[in-house]
Structure 1
Amino acid sequence: MKVVILAGGYGTRLSEETTVVPKPLVEIGGYPILWHIMKIYSHYGLNDFVICCGHKGSLIKDYFRNFFHRNCDFTIDLADNTLVTHQSPREPWRVTVVDTGEKTMTGGRLKRVREHLGEQTFCLTYGDGVADVNIRDLIAFHHQQGALATVTAVQLPGRWGALNLSSDRPRVVGFREKDSGDGHTISGGFFVVEPDALDLIDGEETVWEQEPMRRLVANDQLAVYRHEGYWQSMDTLRDKVLLQEIWDSGQPPWRVWQRPETQAKPRNAPNPGPRMTTDIGSRR
């Protein structure tokens, strides 16, 4: 199964860092946040990545082009132009890096990489958020639901437009703009998507989180996977500092690749009660 990562936005709320590098290359613990995201998926056996680049995308291309030498010790003999490596990186990744346009919106970026995805179910996420989501359980849940797409809902104060969740079924039932009374369930990304869902994208100006997802909702084809564990996006310098502090603590919750899978099981059974709301963001 392939993993698509949206990594083309401007990252304007993190301009202290993104004037130099694109947001997915901003480092936490000496590694780009993009690397952290890929490590999460790789832990669950997903190693085939499609990176949707845009703003400063050439730097992301350079990062992977030079990945081997960035992550190994070597001796270079400048006299005879030879290089001997002493430690090889062992990431089992296959990475397709695609320039999806400087100003293309999230849906348009997906449409541009359609040819790289084949006809199989794929995962989709943003290049600026980490979590201890159990990807294996998420994929299994998606297949159980039989929907064209599944979005992961997480607990956090709302910042973007809101979507309404069914009170008795794992489905999204509507969208609305956020208001001051919104709850704390938001979209954390970490989608699982069927290829047919891409037919709902009109063109480069299409925002995945708007019309395509509204159409999925209208057709009862957007399932919601409720994750009650850790999730954090890196939208601002404050977020970046927070993630670095958590990494420095030695026990970052998203570092699932170096600890047993002890995370809490998500509550995906029907949840009787009032309708819940979740925020969806447009993050190019």
Structure 2
Amino acid sequence: MDKLNKILISPKQSIRHALKQIDSAGEKILFVVDSDNTLLGAVTDGDIRRWILKGGKLGKPISSAMRTKPITLSEGYAKSEARDLMVRKSIECIPIINSDSKIVSAIWWVDLFQERTKLNKKLNLPVVLMAGGEGTRLSPLTKVLPKPLMLIGDKPIIERIMEKFSDYGSKDFYLSVNYKSSIIKAYFHDVNLPYNIHYIEEHKPLGTAGSLHLLKGSIKKTFCVSNCDILIEADLADILEYHKKSKSKITLVGSMKHYTIPYGVCGVGPNGMLSKIDEKPEYDFLVNTGMYILEPEVIKLIPKDKPYHMTDLINKLMANGETVGIYPISEKSWLDMGQFEELKDMLKRYGVQ
């Protein structure tokens, strides 16, 4: 029952609260219930994503974003019925309701199937990992070991990133290398991984996108680019589907970031006098995670052998009238090890003290 209670939410709670509750529960769905546990609706991380993309405010009640006719099963259901429903609808949790429409329990994918990853679609998406940076924010650790090989538990961060893409069928990885590239190559020479690894050699630092010019003619279909110090806990198939539906040339994966100013913030009027005080105001932002989906034709826009950043490429596309999409994910779906405090958080999430 404790597991169920973690995914029940009052219709009066804010969408911001629901997003935090989804993160905390580790599930992708919440069921909206009244005080008697009568099912009123359901909201998924995808519903909240769509709410954000259409400009909805996170302070609004969750009832504004919920679906009022969620998929349910009645008491006495057959397991075969639940299995069929989960596979057909690609859902991981179904509420069980009684004759009064009150939730009495729920059934999860893992209750019926051994492997959670069976829900993953196989995309075979080529992946470019930007592994050439010096990792100066993690110095002096990176004076010895390149950041992509820093251990998260018993595996380097780069290997964990590759495993996540491999869950969706990715086999071709292009590693953009520069700083301590010989150490990175030596590591992959010594380990037996079921991937095709290709190296993009930067002879000088080329920024966050400059080395992609070297892939001209090598990648001829939609591909992914990721920084080598992040882990994204999101549905890659859904990101790709959003990218295709929006007809974007690039889709940026953006993470929600919530900030509370721990003071009263003063407003000053045109006469130089105090106009208002906002006590501990809260702000929400979408920030760039460093993961992107790209169409292959954008490679030709990147100059040869010159420092060039992904932001330069995005700005050029927008200036040319092309569509650039953004796919929001929750704050806890983005793990970044770019600085020491963030590295500690990542290690904690992976159970490493």
Secondary structure of 1:44's aligned partner: coil
Over aligned residues, Cα RMSD in angstroms? 2.1
The 1:209/1:41 distance shift into structure 2, 3 A limit, reads same
Structure 1 runs (4+) greater than 3 angstroms displaced: none
TM-score by length of 2: 0.55
Within the alignment, does 1:101 sit opposite 2:225 as a pair? no
Within the alignment, does 1:235 sit opposite 2:329 as a pair? no
CA deviation after TM superposition for structure 1 residue 145, in Å:
1.1
C-alpha distance in 2 between matches for 1:65 and 1:186: 35
> What are the Cα deviations for residues 131-161 of structure 1, in whole angstroms up to 9, with x where unaligned?
2121111111111111111111112369xxx
Identity %: 26
Give the equivalent residue in structure 1 for 2:300: 199
> What are the Cα deviations for residues 16-60 of structure 1, in whole angstroms up to 9, with x where unaligned?
321011111111102111011111111111121111001111111
Within the alignment, does 1:25 sit opposite 2:127 as a pair? no
C-alpha distance in 1 between matches for 2:147 and 2:209: 19
CA deviation after TM superposition for structure 1 residue 207, in Å:
2.4
Alignment of 1:118-197 (within 5 A): 119-156=220-257, 183-197=284-298
Does the 8 Å CA contact 1:51/1:97 hold for their aligned counterparts? Answer: yes
Larger radius of gyration: 2
C-alpha distance in 2 between matches for 1:247 and 1:63: 22
C-alpha distance in 1 between matches for 2:289 and 2:236: 13
Give the equivalent residue in structure 1 for 2:310: 209
C-alpha distance in 1 between matches for 2:238 and 2:229: 22
C-alpha distance in 2 between matches for 1:129 and 1:221: 25
C-alpha distance in 1 between matches for 2:228 and 2:253: 15
One-letter amino acid of the structure 2 residue matched with residue 64 of structure 1: F
One-letter amino acid of the structure 1 residue matched with residue 145 of structure 2: V
Give the equivalent residue in structure 2 for 1:3: 127
Larger helix percent: 2
C-alpha distance in 1 between matches for 2:258 and 2:308: 22
Number of aligned positions between the proteins: 205
CA deviation after TM superposition for structure 1 residue 211, in Å:
2.1
> What are the Cα deviations for residues 157-205 of structure 1, in whole angstroms up to 9, with x where unaligned?
69xxxxxxxxxxxxxxxxxxxxxx9853101122110111112212333
> What are the Cα deviations for residues 244-284 of structure 1, in whole angstroms up to 9, with x where unaligned?
1221169xxxxxxxxxxxxxxxxxxxxxxxxxxxxxxxxxx
Which consecutive unaligned segments of at least 5 residues does structure 2 have?
1-124, 260-281
C-alpha distance in 2 between matches for 1:114 and 1:9: 21
Give the equivalent residue in structure 1 for 2:18: none
TM-score by length of 1: 0.67
Does the 8 Å CA contact 1:52/1:113 hold for their aligned counterparts? Answer: no
Does the 8 Å CA contact 1:153/1:185 hold for their aligned counterparts? Answer: yes
C-alpha distance in 2 between matches for 1:203 and 1:97: 17
Does the 8 Å CA contact 1:157/1:186 hold for their aligned counterparts? Answer: no
Taking CA–CA contacts closer than 8 Å with sequence separation of 6 or more, which of the two structures ends up with the larger relative contact order? Answer: 1
Give the equivalent residue in structure 2 for 1:111: 213
CA deviation after TM superposition for structure 1 residue 240, in Å:
1.7
Alignment of 1:81-96 (within 5 A): 91-96=193-198
C-alpha distance in 2 between matches for 1:191 and 1:210: 11
Give the equivalent residue in structure 1 for 2:347: 244
C-alpha distance in 2 between matches for 1:121 and 1:185: 24
